[in-house]
Amino acid sequence: MCGIAGWADPEHPFDAAARTVAAMTRALAARGPDGEGLWSGPHCALGHRRLAVLDPEQGHQPMLVTDDGDGPLLVLSYNGEVFNHTELRAELELLGHKFRTATDTEVVLRAWREWGEDTPARLNGMFAFAVWEPARRRLTLVRDRLGVKPLSYARHGTGVLFGSEPKALFASGLLRPTPDPDGLRDLFASVRTPGGGLFRGVREVRPGHLLVLDRAGLRERPYWRLDARPHPDDTPTAVGRVRDLLADTTRRHLGADVPLGALLSGGLDSSALVALAQLGAPEPLRTFSVDFTGAFVPGALRATPDAPYVRDVVAHCGVDHRDLVLDPAALADPGHRRAVVAARDAPGTGDMDTSLYLLFRSVRDHVTVALSGESADEVFGGYPWFHRPLSVAADDYPWRYLTGHSGVYRALLRPDVAAALDVPGHRAAHYRQALAETPRLPGETGLARRMREVFHLHLTRWLPDLLDRKDRLSMAVGLEVRVPFCDHRLVEYAFNAPWAQHVHDGREKSLLRAAVADLLPGSVISRVKAPYPTTQDPGYHEGLRGLVSDLLASPGAPVWTYLDADALRDRLLRPGADPATRAGLDFALNLDLWLTSRP
């Protein structure tokens, strides 16, 4: 995993590009603590920060393909992992290609030399990369199918600036980090527009797309879409197929030349990966979890704590486990909040982000790579609202958690800002557009049609935000987090399994549960879905109240450009510490910090 940056202009040569791209690349230093590289030519400069995972002694980037001529044929700056690189390497060797490293980077480079723009469709992995072809003056930006790895860009004259994160673009000095009205609408509506962003003029390469810049202009096209296909398998066959796919992708995700571990919550998803990874392993897998001080209180969203189930998995699988226990002081620490907002280039979601950042920082003390169960709920229908008829039938996004705080955020807006942004109208239009993109089988109606829509909404409008959070907070501490459930083969198969198979045992995630039932303790198999934990310690809420009181005492704070101080004061004075109140207080603090400390 790494950070990439660059500037290309096929129309006009430039002199200062190397210095500019060097500054952009330095802004991504946390993503790549193991090395820095820069290549420049008359019309393009590419930068790279390296987190060495495969062949640490080789694989320096940007990487070039040359011939006997005066310059390179191809230049590549690459971020990510390709999990079928061994098979592709063998295929390319049969075609005459010679390799000098054991990296997947060189496989991608040689694949582009052989197959050009057909290369991304051959890759199984998580990646974002840039290829420059000097003879054609052509830049191609590529992003993986589900958007696991980020890639932002902005037009500048006839050229394009790009980077793994927006902060790299602003480090060029050629763009200002000005909030974008549509980006703010997304923020307050708790939606995420594919290709959009929070900053004016800054966009993302859409998942499953490539972006081409040459003398004919700039154009974007998909190389992959999630399609609706007939599903001929009965339930036992489907369960077996899910097991085979999950076992294969887990095995592929274990490849690394550096220490590797796994995140473990005691839920079905992470426990399944840990059990599969430990099968036949020569030594115990290192696993990590987060917990909080204070007594656990069951609630509507979380009926059980993680710790007992984590202990059951540790004993059952024989892994080498470590817990990180956080107290309110660590979660409310202003320095940690600043680090999280800076990592995300966005306000984020309060203590949930902070605890994840601190967990990743702790994990990085022991390993360089960690597996995560992220995306299993989107792939297999794990969230509670998948199973609530009223939520499913609503003419709106069905989720009401994590990014579902739009009502809370919107209630804090100044009346004039609320009228200008029209957040409800934006959310409704956003939903209609997302719905229109859903693929369907001919004649598909009723519940089958609606559940396909619900899965597609989660995979294209919900999951990208979680993946972005995971990438930003982990790479801020130089930790590579891999997500085996995002293997496109598994996603495609589960997406086309009928809803009856997803709930064949009367539970959530029936296909996944049946596929790994023989690997896990009974307590984990029977556990009800629990979301990522948040602290229940009242000390955190009290800390929030103090910080918000200080914010209210600062009439010149930039947050009052958007938020209504009286509305926030009203929320501050409410008794108790319900999740909506806490979400509003956290959001106000993070929004002010984001507006104050934009790069």
- Just list the catalytic residues: 2
CA distance 374 to 469: 11
Whole-number Å distance between alpha carbons of 276 and 519: 8
Secondary structure (3-state) at 409: helix
Q: Are 439 and 456 in contact (CB under 8 A)?
A: yes
- From 219, 187, 76, select the one nearest 421 (Cα to Cα): 187
Spatial separation of the C-alpha atoms in residues 262 and 253, rounded to whole Å: 11
Residue type for position 247: A
Sheet of strand 63-66: strand arrangement: 63-66, 72-82, 125-133, 138-143, 209-214, 217-222
Q: Which candidate, 475, 446, 558, places its Cα nearest to that of 80?
A: 475
73 phi, psi to nearest 5 deg? -85, -35
Neighbours of 303 (CB within 10 A): 11
d(CA 257, CA 377): 30
Q: Which residues of 181-200 are buried (b: 16+ CB within 10 A; e: fewer)?
A: ebbbbbbbbbbbbbebbbbe
Inter-residue contact 221 to 209 (CB < 8 Å): yes
Q: How many CB atoms lie within 10 A of CB 84?
A: 15
Residues in Cβ contact with 348 at an 8 Å cutoff, skipping those fewer than 6 apart:
340, 341, 469, 590
